[in-house]
């Protein structure tokens, strides 16, 4: 059984059999959610359901009860891809059909009917969450790709990562000036990737309505790099 550790002591269940990270849920920062942590990247955990009590606690706090389940479906792999990095692995979320659907639904409910014509997804993991959201809200999906992947004429922006540097590119003509976009990725760490995506779209006159990620690592203060673009996240993790 998973446990939720709440500052309101709404639910204190026995600790799970694996080490836990602390996850802080969006909109109710006082609730801390443990998630899975593994010492090997080869072992895939099945996604356990959150306990009934945990779901009730989330409801009493006015929080979307889907969020704790989404949080608990994310695995953390220490020291990947290099020592010191606590890697937030969303592949376990993808194995959990309910958590995956709920993740997409939460975003769709937020953005449907908001006049958004562009969903920009950042390679690679933004390509998992972006397309179903784009289809559901009736927007086009624009891939923001790693260098030398797009065959047409591109514009590009460089950025730095929590573990290295990189560049993203977008096809010229994929978007029109005046269009309204959301930018989707799985995670914001230092914010360098999303900041580069914002710069790319703004260079061609697109309005960034919001950036949306499943996970934020708040300790890395990535949202401070986003300028005036708002950030919407489902889960905040202090395992940076």
Phi, psi torsion values for 23, nearest 5 degrees: -120, 135
Q: Which candidate in 55, 157, 162, 216 is catalytic?
A: 162
Of 6-14, 66-74, 84-92, 126-134: span binding ligand ADE (CB under 6 A): 84-92
Judged by CB under 6 A, the residue of 133, 192, 229, 235 near ligand PRP is 192
**Per CB under 6 A, 185 contacts ligand PRP:** yes
CB 177 within 8 A of CB 205: yes
Judged by CB under 6 A, the residue of 31, 190, 210, 234 near ligand PRP is 190
Of 7-15, 24-32, 48-56, 179-187: span binding ligand PRP (CB under 6 A): 179-187
Of 45-53, 55-63, 100-108, 119-127: span binding ligand PRP (CB under 6 A): 119-127
Among residues 185 and 210, whose Cβ is nearest to ligand PRP?
185
Say whether 125 is catalytic: yes
DSSP 47: -
Of 40-48, 94-102, 129-137, 182-190: span binding ligand PRP (CB under 6 A): 182-190
Q: Which of ligand ADE, ligand PRP, none is residue 188 near (CB under 5 to 8 Å by kind)?
A: ligand PRP
Q: Which of 236, 214, 227 is CA-nearest to residue 104?
A: 214
Q: How far is CA 228 from its chain centroid?
A: 19
Which residues from 166-205 bind ligand ADE, rule CB under 6 A? 187, 189
Give yes or no for a cis peptide into 3 (omega within 30° of 0).
no
**Per CB under 6 A, 191 contacts ligand PRP:** yes
Q: Distance between CA 145 and CA 122 in Å, rounded?
A: 7
Q: Distance between CA 205 and CA 212 in Å, rounded?
A: 20
**Per CB under 6 A, 162 contacts ligand ADE:** yes
Q: Which candidate in 36, 66, 75, 125 is catalytic?
A: 125
Do the strands 164-171 and 154-161 form a parallel or antiparallel pair, or are they unpaired? antiparallel
Judged by CB under 6 A, the residue of 1, 13, 56, 85 near ligand ADE is 85
To ligand PRP, the closest distance from the beta carbon of 72 in angstroms equals 20
- β strands within 64-173, DSSP E: 75-78, 86-89, 118-122, 140-144, 154-161, 164-171
Say whether 162 is catalytic: yes
- β strands within the chain, DSSP E: 5-6, 20-25, 31-37, 75-78, 86-89, 118-122, 140-144, 154-161, 164-171, 180-188, 207-216, 231-237
The site for ligand PRP (CB under 6 A) is made up of: 122-125, 161-162, 166, 185-193, 222
The site for ligand ADE (CB under 6 A) is made up of: 85-88, 162, 187, 189, 217
């Amino acid at each position: 059984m998973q446990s939720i550790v709440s500052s309101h002591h709404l639910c204190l269940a026995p600790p799970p059999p694996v080490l836990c990270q602390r996850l802080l849920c969006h909109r109710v920062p006082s609730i801390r959610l443990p998630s899975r942590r593994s010492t090997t990247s080869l072992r895939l955990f099945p996604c356990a359901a959150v306990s009934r009590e945990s779901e009730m606690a989330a409801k009493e706090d006015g929080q979307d009860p889907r969020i704790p389940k989404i949080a608990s479906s994310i695995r953390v792999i220490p020291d990947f891809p290099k020592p010191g990095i606590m890697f937030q692995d969303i592949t376990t979320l993808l194995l959990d059909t309910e958590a995956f659907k709920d993740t997409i639904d939460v975003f769709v409910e937020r953005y449907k009917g908001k006049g958004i014509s562009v969903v920009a997804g950042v390679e690679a993991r933004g390509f998992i969450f972006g397309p179903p959201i784009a289809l559901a809200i009736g927007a086009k999906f624009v891939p923001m790709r790693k260098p030398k992947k797009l065959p047409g004429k591109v514009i590009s922006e460089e950025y730095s990562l929590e573990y290295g540097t990189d560049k993203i590119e977008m096809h010229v003509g994929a978007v029109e000036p005046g269009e309204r976009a959301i930018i989707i990725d799985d995670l914001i760490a230092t914010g360098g990737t999303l900041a580069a995506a914002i710069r790319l779209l703004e260079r061609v006159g697109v309005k960034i309505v919001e950036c949306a990620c499943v996970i934020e690592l708040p300790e890395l203060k990535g949202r401070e790099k986003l300028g005036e673009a708002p950030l919407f996240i489902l889960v905040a993790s202090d395992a940076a």
